[in-house]
Amino acid sequence: MTTTHASCLALSLIPILCLGAQCSFGDNEVGRVKDDGGPPLADSFVADSASDSASDAHPAADMIPVSDDTAGPDAADSSPTPETDTSGSTCGQTSLHPPATTLGFKPIPADGTFHALVSEVADDHLVLQPDAGTPVTFLWGGPPLSGEFSVGEDVNCTEASNWSTVTSGKRSAEILGGYSNTSRRNSGTTPGGATYSSTLQCTNWQTIACGASSSISSSTLTTTYFRVVVSQNGASVDIPMGETAQLGNSRVTNIFNNQDPSSFCGYAYDARNWEVLSVLRSIGP
């Protein structure tokens, strides 16, 4: 079988790293089905009569796509049985995973804004004690937060436009936990006023035979990954997925950025489109 795919920027190496303890491009299988040469994406779908909401900035850590029952029979009846399996990558590796858990505030603040004291500082999270209520954990991916915030420090916290932000008198930690099962934003503005846009980095693909349950003989499933171009005050940085770059007084990390296929052997499914970006910004001495 011959597999065709669009040409794109070749990537010699995508770093396999954990940004704190929360995210991995290695073998962490929480939140994404590993592509290890076993049964392809059909086995990662489960039947559900109701699709997820159009956009969820903080999906459950174990969220996987669900079938759209309006598009065909239940997944239990229609999931194809692969007969052949070919795959390829311009990414340098075929197993790429989003964060092992959703990043940002847990629990999400009800009113969107609150003042707090920092009660715990770690590389990958802060524990915040609001003026009223129970502690809130701020889960992070990017440069270590240790040394950037201090226990007992006053911070203002905001949850808006899918950005979770913790700001002290000297630092602002900002993380975009963007997730959608329908579309991608592809561009936007950070809380500090920088603009960003996604551009093609590489693709992974897998072609399988659909089997007797489908009217289509085979499907090629392509997942696209994106680098991010961030600009501010006339300067720009181009950041591959999994890397951090300095832009002015900010360190910007392109944590995970992809677009999944939304159909499979003639049936529609909820795609998992992630846009996870963080900014650690200096605003004082």
Please give the structure tokens belonging to residue 130.
Answer: 């609001």
**For residues 242 and 11, which has the higher predicted lDDT (pLDDT)?**
242
Q: How far apart are CA 23 and CA 109, in angstroms?
A: 23
DSSP state of 118: E
Determine the residue type at 26: G
Please give the structure tokens belonging to residue 113.
Answer: 């804004």
Cα of 91 vs its chain's centroid, Å:
16
* Contact between 159 and 104 (Cβ < 8 Å): yes
At 65-114, the pLDDT tens digits run 222 223 333 333 344 444 446 778 888 777 688 887 789 999 988 888 99
Please give the structure tokens belonging to residue 122.
Answer: 């770690």
Q: How far apart are CA 194 and CA 184, in angstroms?
A: 19
pTM over 0.75? The answer is no
User: What pLDDT score was predicted for residue 26?
Assistant: 30
Cα of 220 vs its chain's centroid, Å:
22
Whose tokens are 């501010």? That residue is 232
User: What pLDDT score was predicted for residue 18?
Assistant: 31
**For residues 112 and 280, which has the higher predicted lDDT (pLDDT)?**
280
Beta strand residue intervals within 47-112, DSSP E:
85-89, 104-106
Q: How far apart are CA 248 and CA 283, in angstroms?
A: 11
**For residues 120 and 274, which has the higher predicted lDDT (pLDDT)?**
120
Please give the structure tokens belonging to residue 243.
Answer: 């890397």
User: What pLDDT score was predicted for residue 270?
Assistant: 75
User: What pLDDT score was predicted for residue 78?
Assistant: 43
Determine the residue type at 109: P
Determine the residue type at 110: A
**For residues 237 and 79, which has the higher predicted lDDT (pLDDT)?**
237
Average pLDDT over residues 3-28: 30
* Contact between 102 and 83 (Cβ < 8 Å): no
Runs of H (alpha helix) within 142-272: none
* Contact between 97 and 225 (Cβ < 8 Å): no
At 171-217, the pLDDT tens digits run 999 999 877 777 778 899 999 999 999 999 999 988 888 877 777 88
**For residues 130 and 77, which has the higher predicted lDDT (pLDDT)?**
130
pLDDT at residue 44 is higher than 80: no
User: What pLDDT score was predicted for residue 106?
Assistant: 94
User: What pLDDT score was predicted for residue 242?
Assistant: 93
- Choose among 60, 258, 249, 253: nearest CA to 140: 253
Which residues, 6 or more positions from 111, have their beta carbon under 8 angstroms from its beta carbon?
Answer: none
Handedness of CA 23, 26, 30, 32 (dihedral sign): positive
